[in-house]
Structure 1
Amino acid sequence: MMKFRSLAISALATIAAALALPALAADGYDLSPEQNGRVHATRNAEAIGAIPENFRFATPGKFTVASAVGGPPLNTYATDAQTVVGSDPDYASAIAESLGLQLQIIPVAWADWPLGLTSGKYDAVISNVGVTEQRKEKFDFSTYRRGGHGFFVRLDSAVKAISEPKDAAGLRVIVGAGTNQERILLRWSEENRKAGLKPLELQYYDDEATQLIALQSGRADVIVQPYSTLVFISKRDKNIRAVGLLSAGWPERSDVAIVTRKGSGLANALTIATNGLIADGTYAKILDRWGLADERLAKSETNPPGLPKY
C-alpha cells in the first residue's frame, strides 16, 4: 500500500511539473523538447585541428557534456520533463557542431560533476561553473560567459543604478545567507561605514517566493541573486527591473567556463571553437535568445586568472 501511494505521489508530482512548464514557455522562452529555435553553428576546422590526436571522447562521434540542471534560463527540463534545455545546452550544442560532433547531455547532481569528469564519464562540464584558482589545480577551463550578480528592484522603485558600494548605501537588500553575493555585500557595507555612509541592511528569507513578496510589498528595496535567475524572474513576473550587474567575484573578475580534465588538451580546442562562435555572431544569438546579452564576453580564454582562494 505504501509503495502504491509513493508511486501515485511521484506520478502526480511529475504531472504537476509538466503542466507548469508550458506557462514558463509563454514568458518568452522556448522550453519545448524540440527546440526549433535553437541557434546552430558550422564546423570550425581550426578547432577540430586543435583536438589532440590522442584525445578519446567518452563516446566516439559525440561531445558528451555534464549539466547540473538548476533552472531557466541556464539549464532546465523541457516540457517533456526529460530534455535539458536553456542557454548552456544551446552553447554546448554549438560547440559540438563546431567540432563536427553530436551533442550528448548527461544531467548530473552538482556535487557529482568533478568525479565524473576526472573518471572520463564525460568530456566536459557546461553548467555555469566559475573559474577559481582552486578549481584550476584540478581542471582546465575555456571561458564563455561573464559570471554576474544582478541588482533588481520593483518597476516603480526610485533606485536607478547600482554599480559601487555608495550606490547601495542605506538600502534594504535581499540576499541569500552564505552566498558569494552576501560576502560581497558585507564588504560593500563595511566600505560604506569607513566612508561615513550608511551601511547596507541585509535581509534573509527562506525561499524565493518570500523574497519576491518582500520586495513587492516594500519591505526591501533591492534583491541580489545570480543575474540569469533574476532575468528569468523579470520576464516571468514582469514586475522587477535590473539596475546593476556586478562581477560574481567582485572586485576580481569572475568568468564562467567549460570545464575539462586537467592536461587533456581539449581546452584549447574549445577556446578556439568559442572564439569562432563569437566572431561569426552565433555566440551573441545564443545569449540573446535567453536574455543574457549583458553577460557576453569579448573573447574566450584558456585558464585565465580565477577567483582567489578565500
Structure 2
Amino acid sequence: MKITTPVAPLLGLALAATLALSGCGNSTDALSAADKEVGGTTTTKQDAIPTQDVVSSIQTDKALHDRLPAEIKSSGTLSLGTTEATGTSFLPHGGTDDAGKQIGLDVDIRDAVAKLLGVKLDVQFGSFETIVPGTQNGKYNVGEGNFAVTSERLKVVDYATYLKDGQSFVAPASSDLTKVSDITDVCGKSIATSPGSSFQQILESNASTCAAAGKEPYKVSYYKDGATILLSLQNGKADLYFGPTLSLKYLVDHQSNLKYLGELSLTDVGFVVAKGSPLAPILVDAVNELIETGDYDKIFDKWSVGDIKLAKSEFNPKPAF
C-alpha cells in the first residue's frame, strides 16, 4: 500500500472531526434500506447478532475513579459525544437491536470503561463532523466515533487508543476490480464515502496521483449514511465504497453481491478529548486495565474481531498519515 501524498491541511477542523475509521456518520440501516438489491438480487444474509453481557461484571477501580476531574466525580457522569448508527449497517462498531438499544463493539468498550471508572455515561448524539469540535469546546468530555489517529486531528485533540481499524474498498460483485492495494488502482472509478472523515482526507490528498500516473482521475461523492452509499452502488452512481475495514468486512459477510477489495492503510483508533485534558491518560490506563483483566478480550471475542485488538492502549501514538 502506498499513500503517495501527505495529508492535506485544507481540510482543517472539519476533518479533525472520523468512522469513520477511519470514520462513520449518522446512518439509516443500510442492511434494511439498501439490502434488497445490489445487482438485482436479494442480498441480506441473516446472522444472529451477539447478545452476551461482557460488561456488567466489571468493578470500579477506585484509584482510577479518584483521578477523575472534580466536576465529573461530583456529578458521577461522563458526557460522551458519538454518532447514532441505527440498524446494523455499521456493526460491529455500532448499531441498534430490534428494541432500538445501542449495541456494538464501540458501545461495549465505552460501557466497560465507564464501569471501571465508576461513572454513568451521558451519551449524546451528534453528526460525525461535530464531535471533535464538541470535545474542544467542552460540550462533551469524550468523543467516540471510530476516530483514526491522524496528524491533523492530533493538532486539536488528544487520543486514548482502544483498537486498530483501516481504510478499505468494497464494490458490487460484478466489478472488474478484484483487489485494491494502491490508490492508483481506483483511478477512473467513482467512489462513495463519508464526509469529514479520514477517507475524504486520503482521497483529497491523493487527488493528483492518477494524473501523475497517466491515468484518469477518480471521482468522489460524499454521503452521510451507509444506506445511501449502498444505493449508489446499486444504481451505478458509484463504483466503489471507501470506508472502515471492520465495518466493510462485516457488511460483505452479511450482504450478498458485494466483494471486499482490500485495505489501503491501517490506523490506531481511540477516544478523543480536548487537547491537554487530564482524561486522556486516565482513559489509556482504563483500557490497559481492561486488557490486563481479560475483559477487553471478552468484548472483542464477542464481536469476532480479535485481529484488530491492541496489545496496549497508547496516548497520542504516531499517526499513520
The TM-score normalised by the length of structure 1 is 0.66
Counterpart for residue 279 of structure 2: 266
Tell me, yes or no, if the aligned pair for 2:156 and 2:275 is still in contact at 8 Å.
yes
Measure, in 2, the Cα distance between the counterparts of 1:115 and 1:212: 29
How far the C-alpha of 1:95 sits from its partner, in A, is: 1.1
Counterpart for residue 239 of structure 1: 257
Which of 141, 145, 148 is residue 159 of structure 2 equivalent to? 141
Which of 81, 85, 103 is residue 85 of structure 1 equivalent to? 103
Counterpart for residue 296 of structure 2: 283
3-state SS of paired residue (2:67) = coil
How far the C-alpha of 1:142 sits from its partner, in A, is: 0.5
RMSD (Å) for aligned C-alpha atoms: 4.2
Counterpart for residue 48 of structure 1: 63
Aligned CA distance change for structure 1 residues 233 and 37 (closer, same or farther; 3 Å)? same
Aligned CA distance change for structure 1 residues 290 and 194 (closer, same or farther; 3 Å)? same
Measure, in 1, the Cα distance between the counterparts of 2:69 and 2:228: 52
Q: Which has the higher helix share?
A: 1
Which of 222, 225, 234 is residue 243 of structure 2 equivalent to? 225
Tell me, yes or no, if the aligned pair for 2:143 and 2:273 is still in contact at 8 Å.
yes
Q: In the alignment, is residue 152 of structure 1 matched against residue 170 of structure 2?
A: yes
Deviation track 1:44-69 (CA, whole Å, cap 9, x = no partner) reads: 85x93485375442664454433321
Measure, in 2, the Cα distance between the counterparts of 1:105 and 1:138: 23
Q: In the alignment, is residue 29 of structure 1 matched against residue 24 of structure 2?
A: no
Counterpart for residue 162 of structure 1: 180
Which of 91, 113, 126 is residue 95 of structure 1 equivalent to? 113
Measure, in 1, the Cα distance between the counterparts of 2:152 and 2:222: 30
Equivalent residue runs for 1:207-222 within 5 Å: 211-212=229-230, 215=233, 221-222=239-240
Q: Which has the larger radius of gyration?
A: 1
3-state SS of paired residue (2:109) = helix
Counterpart for residue 81 of structure 2: 66
Unaligned runs of 5+ in 1: 1-16, 31-35, 248-252
How far the C-alpha of 1:118 sits from its partner, in A, is: 5.8
Measure, in 2, the Cα distance between the counterparts of 1:57 and 1:162: 46
Tell me, yes or no, if the aligned pair for 1:181 and 1:225 is still in contact at 8 Å.
yes
Counterpart for residue 126 of structure 1: 144
Aligned CA distance change for structure 1 residues 293 and 194 (closer, same or farther; 3 Å)? farther
Aligned CA distance change for structure 1 residues 158 and 287 (closer, same or farther; 3 Å)? farther
The TM-score normalised by the length of structure 2 is 0.64
Counterpart for residue 13 of structure 2: none
How far the C-alpha of 1:91 sits from its partner, in A, is: 0.5
Counterpart for residue 109 of structure 1: 126
Unaligned runs of 5+ in 2: 1-28, 36-43
Counterpart for residue 7 of structure 1: none
Aligned CA distance change for structure 1 residues 212 and 93 (closer, same or farther; 3 Å)? closer
How far the C-alpha of 1:269 sits from its partner, in A, is: 1.9
Aligned CA distance change for structure 1 residues 177 and 267 (closer, same or farther; 3 Å)? closer
Tell me, yes or no, if the aligned pair for 1:175 and 1:182 is still in contact at 8 Å.
no
Tell me, yes or no, if the aligned pair for 2:162 and 2:270 is still in contact at 8 Å.
yes
Measure, in 1, the Cα distance between the counterparts of 2:227 and 2:114: 37
Which of 247, 255, 276 is residue 268 of structure 2 equivalent to? 255
Tell me, yes or no, if the aligned pair for 1:58 and 1:122 is still in contact at 8 Å.
no
How far the C-alpha of 1:92 sits from its partner, in A, is: 0.6
Deviation track 1:265-291 (CA, whole Å, cap 9, x = no partner) reads: 221121122123334543344345446
Q: Relative contact order: is structure 1 or structure 2 higher (C-alpha 8 Å, sep ≥ 6)?
A: 2
Measure, in 2, the Cα distance between the counterparts of 1:38 and 1:265: 30
How far the C-alpha of 1:177 sits from its partner, in A, is: 7.8
Tell me, yes or no, if the aligned pair for 2:135 and 2:142 is still in contact at 8 Å.
yes
Aligned CA distance change for structure 1 residues 141 and 25 (closer, same or farther; 3 Å)? farther
Tell me, yes or no, if the aligned pair for 1:58 and 1:64 is still in contact at 8 Å.
no
How far the C-alpha of 1:225 sits from its partner, in A, is: 2.2
Identity %: 27
Amino acid at match of 1:69: E
